[in-house]
């Protein structure tokens, strides 16, 4: 009797954790843009206090970007996506590594590399949304 009482009344399915609409690579892009902007500001300022604060902000933003990319990889992309885009696993790995490199660097080129990789993830993401 209890099993019938607590049994689900409606069954739903989705290819991701929630029905689509909650995932967007723009979140990762915005954080990565912040990383690059902080790197540029760091380069343009010699004040040690400013630079210390810039490093903290850059590292936080890089971690958030990594989080958003990881969520796309683990929660949004599913086996059919990986079959259609076999480079996706490597692309996500390369993106996470690029964000780690940007986190540890003051060179805006590292931030730009991460942005370029996130842009490719976004292309694939939006192609999968059309399907």
- Please state the three-class secondary structure of the chain as a single string: CHHHHHCCCCCCCCCCCCCCCCCCCHHHHHHHHHHHHHHHHHHCCCCHHHHHHHHHHHHHHHHHHHHHHHHHHHHHCCHHHHHHCCCHHHHHHHHHHHHHHHHCCCCHHHHHHHHHHHHHHHHHHHHHHHC
Is the pLDDT assigned to residue 6 strictly greater than 90? Answer: no
Per-residue confidence band for 91, with pLDDT thresholds at 50, 70 and 90: very high
Q: Across the chain, what does the average pLDDT equal?
A: 91
Q: How many residues belong to the chain? A: 131
Segment 109-126, tens digit of pLDDT: 999 999 999 999 999 999
């Amino acid at each position: 009797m209890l099993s019938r009482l607590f049994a689900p009344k409606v069954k739903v399915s989705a290819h991701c954790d929630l029905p689509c609409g909650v995932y967007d690579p723009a979140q990762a892009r915005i954080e990565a843009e912040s990383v690059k902007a902080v790197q540029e500001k760091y380069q343009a300022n010699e004040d040690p206090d400013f630079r210390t604060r810039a490093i903290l902000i850059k590292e936080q933003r890089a971690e958030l970007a990594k989080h958003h990319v990881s969520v796309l990889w683990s929660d949004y992309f599913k086996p059919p996506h990986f079959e259609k885009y076999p480079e996706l696993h490597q692309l996500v790995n390369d993106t996470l590594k690029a964000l780690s490199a940007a986190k540890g660097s003051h060179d805006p080129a590292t931030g730009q590399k991460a942005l370029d990789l996130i842009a490719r993830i976004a292309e694939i993401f939006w192609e999968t949304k059309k399907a």
